[in-house]
Structure 1
Amino acid sequence: MRNAVILIAVALGVGGLIYLAGGGMDQITLWAQGAQRGFQDQMALGLRALRAGQPGALATFWGLCFAYGFVHAVGPGHGKFLLGAYGAGSQAPLGRMVGIGLASSLAQGLSAIVLVYAGVLIFDASREAMQITGDIWLERASLIAIALIGLWLVSRAARKMIRQTMAAPVIVSDQNHGICEECGHRHSPDMHEVARAQGWRDIALLVGAIAIRPCTGALFVLILTWRMGLVWQGIAAVLVMALGTAAVTIAVTATAVLARDGALDWADKLGRARAITPVLEGGAGLFILFVALNMLKIL
């Protein structure tokens, strides 16, 4: 069963890359932009119905917010590219990457809430000022942070390659501790300790880089609901929208992780799993760096 799932993930990953390379991203972008405009119009109508106290208006509005978050994530966005590439290039397990996908989407919603309510309650900022802050300055800050993550992954992969080349042979015990063959002592943390340390640090970096830039749709909803006096309804709507975004991000990330596992299983059969791991991480870092710098040029 696991092999079948991995095979499907590899096929989806390869097919997706071929589709994007053939100009599919432009088609997806046009579709997503049109869908988002349509959902924004529907959300505005839903807010009027909610303010008028129509039955079922709140559930309908939240459903529209979830759908908006979903189609927003389908379009060109750096969050799914970052987590998908990281999942493909790292050794992070599937469960951790799913958690990161959910946490980053919710954190992005929370950043929108903080921006809007800090803007209106503390700085008395206008709608235009908040949208410029979110769409330009915070977008740039997020992309710069993502580019730095890509550069960091490349450097980390390079260090691993150098260590593999220069390290003395090790004896792997039953506890997976690396013991030097020359002196019989342990000179470094074992693989599980390193994975735990890198795991928490990586989670903080990934979630933070994505959360810096709030979703435009979330700003739209929060500003309108604040003006209408529907504060808690708007905050809840943004969190529901974040769940819609998370659905796409998690799907992309899970596909990347399963495809990575398939590649590592294949490399392990050839006895090359240890050598291919830093190659995957370095390739993921280069991809992240390229996407972030390319999007920065567009801004």
Structure 2
Amino acid sequence: MRTAILSIAALAALVLLVLWGMGGLDGMSDWAQAAQRRFQAQLADGLRALHAGQPGALLALWGMCFAYGFVHAVGPGHGKFLVGAYGAGTQVPLRRLMGVSLGASLAQGASAVALVYGGVLIFNATRAGLQHTGDIWLDRASLLAIAAIGLWLLWRGARRLVAQRHLQPAHAHDHAHNHDHMHNHDDGTCESCGHRHGPTMSEVAQLHDWRDTAALISAIAIRPCTGALFLLILTWRMGLVWQGMAGAMVMALGTASVTMAVAALAVMAREGALGWASRMGRLTGLMPLFEVVAGVFIVILALNMLKTF
């Protein structure tokens, strides 16, 4: 059953990738953008109802915030592509990648709060100035950070491919030390001297995990959601400060619902593809190749989006 689910996920991811490359998802993007415009008008109406003290207005507003975050994530954006490519190209576990997706979305909401209230209280910024900063400068910074992640994945995958080519078929665990050590392969401890001469493979993986996690969350969080900026500016003017901040975080949860689904699909598609490769006897060297392809995809995506400025 698990094999069938993973295989279906791999096939679905491939179909979606082909459709996206051929422009077959443009209709979905157009729908999402139109829905965002409608929700912005409804958010303004909801804020007026909340300001007037109408019963149930706060919960209704937060419901619209969640819906706006959902359709915002469905539309064109780099966050879900970054998470999806990373999940497909590296051996990150599903739980960790979903946590990254949730953390990045919440951090994106927090960055919107920081931008609006930092700009208003410290720099006395205008609504137009805040939106210009978010839409132009922070978007560029986010895309540059995403391109850097793509280059890092490309470089890391290429190094692993080269390392695999240089490994001997029957690796004898020989050392260039001037003393004959026998190492425990589980924790890297030398049996003869009791010392550790380097990190274990699991420790190296954990090192990459926390660095990659911080990089992914930071690259996505740099660019706050336009809808969150719109909401926070209006709530600040109306004196609805905590309601607006809470609404921005609820909006982030709506975004997270999509990016977490993309993360799940990417990881299951990767496992399904690896399962196919294993059955065909072509598993060796496949993960570094996936990482290289993911890096190239991320770099191309970021550079193409930068061209729109």
TM-score range relative to shorter protein: over 0.9
Tell me which residue corresponds to 1:117. Answer: 117
Q: How big is the shift at 1:288?
A: 0.2
Q: Does residue 227 of structure 2 align to residue 226 of structure 1?
A: no
Tell me which residue corresponds to 1:29. Answer: 29
Is the alpha carbon distance of 1:171 and 1:177 closer, same or farther for their aligned partners in structure 2, counting shifts above 3 Å? farther
For the 8 Å contact 2:160–2:288, the answer to whether it is kept is: yes
Deviations 1:209-263 (A, max 9, x none): 0000000000000000000000000000000000000000011111011000111
Count of residues in Structure 1 that have an aligned counterpart in Structure 2: 295
For the 8 Å contact 1:176–1:191, the answer to whether it is kept is: no
Tell me which residue corresponds to 1:68. Answer: 68
Give the distance between the partners of 1:125 and 1:64, measured in 2 at CA. Answer: 27
Which runs of structure 1 show a deviation greater than 4 angstroms over 4 or more consecutive aligned residues? 171-179, 185-188
Tell me which residue corresponds to 2:126. Answer: 126
For the 8 Å contact 2:186–2:200, the answer to whether it is kept is: yes
Is the alpha carbon distance of 1:171 and 1:265 closer, same or farther for their aligned partners in structure 2, counting shifts above 3 Å? farther
More helix by share: 1
Partner residue of 1:257 out of 267, 279, 299:
267
Give the distance between the partners of 2:10 and 2:103, measured in 1 at CA. Answer: 25
Using the size of structure 2 for normalisation, the TM-score is: 0.90
Give the distance between the partners of 1:282 and 1:219, measured in 2 at CA. Answer: 35
2:282 partner amino acid? R
27-36 or 283-292, larger mean C-alpha shift = 27-36
Give the distance between the partners of 2:301 and 2:272, measured in 1 at CA. Answer: 24
Tell me, which stretches of 5 or more residues in structure 2 are unaligned? 174-182, 190-194
Is the alpha carbon distance of 1:177 and 1:278 closer, same or farther for their aligned partners in structure 2, counting shifts above 3 Å? farther
1:255 partner amino acid? L
Tell me which residue corresponds to 1:205. Answer: 215
Tell me which residue corresponds to 2:171. Answer: 170
Give the distance between the partners of 1:259 and 1:100, measured in 2 at CA. Answer: 18
Give the distance between the partners of 2:111 and 2:184, measured in 1 at CA. Answer: 45
1:23 partner amino acid? G
Tell me which residue corresponds to 2:4. Answer: 4
Tell me which residue corresponds to 1:157. Answer: 157
Tell me which residue corresponds to 1:58. Answer: 58
Q: Does residue 267 of structure 2 align to residue 266 of structure 1?
A: no
Is the alpha carbon distance of 1:166 and 1:187 closer, same or farther for their aligned partners in structure 2, counting shifts above 3 Å? farther
Q: Does residue 246 of structure 2 align to residue 245 of structure 1?
A: no
- Pair member with larger Rg: 2
281-290 or 187-196, larger mean C-alpha shift = 187-196
Is the alpha carbon distance of 1:251 and 1:270 closer, same or farther for their aligned partners in structure 2, counting shifts above 3 Å? same
Q: How big is the shift at 1:11?
A: 2.5
Tell me, which stretches of 5 or more residues in structure 1 are unaligned? 180-184
Give the distance between the partners of 2:8 and 2:55, measured in 1 at CA. Answer: 43
Give the distance between the partners of 2:282 and 2:172, measured in 1 at CA. Answer: 18
Q: How big is the shift at 1:267?
A: 2.2
Q: How big is the shift at 1:163?
A: 1.1
Give the distance between the partners of 2:249 and 2:185, measured in 1 at CA. Answer: 43
Q: How big is the shift at 1:174?
A: 9.4
1:58 partner amino acid? L
Deviations 1:165-210 (A, max 9, x none): 123443699965689xxxxx98653321111110000000000000
Give the distance between the partners of 1:175 and 1:195, measured in 2 at CA. Answer: 15
Using the size of structure 1 for normalisation, the TM-score is: 0.93
